[in-house]
Amino acid sequence: QKEVEQNSGPLSVPEGAIASLNCTYSDRGSQSFFWYRQYSGKSPELIMSIYSNGDKEDGRFTAQLNKASQYVSLLIRDSQPSDSATYLCAVTNQGGKLIFGQGTELSVKP
Amino acid sequence: DAGITQSPRYKITETGRQVTLMCHQTWSHSYMFWYRQDLGHGLRLIYYSAAADITDKGEVPDGYVVSRSKTENFPLTLESATRSQTSVYFCASSEGGLNEKLFFGSGTQLSVL
């Protein structure tokens, strides 16, 4: 079992819709959770971090964390074609190492 | 410009050759990291450094060597390149460690023939 798992996609949504990206992790002691966005041929950039159960909103982005279910998600409201990218979930495990999932490719169709 | 820079941007080498990838940051961040990115595996940590002269292994350290004599530089050396080391390599830095925001360089695409 991979430490951090994501569906590779591609996930295709129409412009204006809500995109829902999911991530599960195996280490129950994980404390820090991140979402990075990576455009094709570019380097990853941080868009959200979350450390406690519940929701965290930043503009059109909402991160959701459920430690009991070992599940973290990212919702993108009013999706735009410019949101088309690969979204990487990253989790800091008990050993203090940041582990990335393989990423979910999102395509927003005009 | 301030930031984190990697060189070269592209590199082609042959099996068995030594290759060094360079990483330089101007923020004086304590932590620096090397990741490789492969299809189906996402980003995997090779080595990281908490400060000058302090380095530690990540998930996939075999075949790689790092050094950090100065805070701003963190070179990655492949002592004897293998085809399995063909990948995109990203250097990153953070102010406070693995729980902090990582800033990535633009990457080095390495092909080992």
How far, in Å, CA of B71 to CA of A77, rounded? Answer: 40
Q: Residue window 10-49, chain A: list those with CB within 8 Å of chain B.
A: 31-32, 34, 36, 42-46, 49
pLDDT value of position B32: 95
Question: A36 burial class (0-12, 13-18, 19+ CB within 10 angstroms)?
Answer: buried
**Given B58, B97, B106, which is nearest A43 (Cβ)?**
B106
Residue B68 above 60 pLDDT?
Answer: yes
DSSP secondary structure string for all residues of B12-73? EE-TT--EEEEEEESS--SEEEEEEEETTTEEEEEEEEEETTEEEE-S--TTEEE--SSTTB
Min distance B15 CA to chain A CA atoms (Å): 25
pLDDT value of position A106: 96
Q: What is the mean pLDDT of residues B104-113?
A: 96
Mark the ranges of chain A whose per-residue pLDDT is less than 50: none
- Tell the residue number behind the tokens 């940041």, with chain if given: A98
pLDDT in tens, B29-67: 999 999 999 987 889 999 999 999 999 999 899 999 999
The type of residue at B20 is T
CA B32 to chain centre: 8
Higher pLDDT, B15 or B96: B15
Residue B27 above 60 pLDDT?
Answer: yes
pLDDT value of position A8: 80
pLDDT value of position A54: 96
Residue A82 — φ and ψ, nearest 5°? -70, -10
Q: What is the mean pLDDT of chain B?
A: 93
Would an 8 Å CB–CB cutoff place B112 in contact with chain A? no
pLDDT value of position B1: 56
pLDDT in tens, A22-41: 999 999 999 899 999 999 99
Min distance A20 CA to chain B CA atoms (Å): 19
Question: B93 burial class (0-12, 13-18, 19+ CB within 10 angstroms)?
Answer: buried
Do A46 and B101 lie within an 8 Å CB cutoff? yes
- The side-by-side arrangement of strands in the sheet containing A4-5 is A4-5, A19-25, A71-76, A61-66, A54-58
Percent of chain B with pLDDT over 90: 85
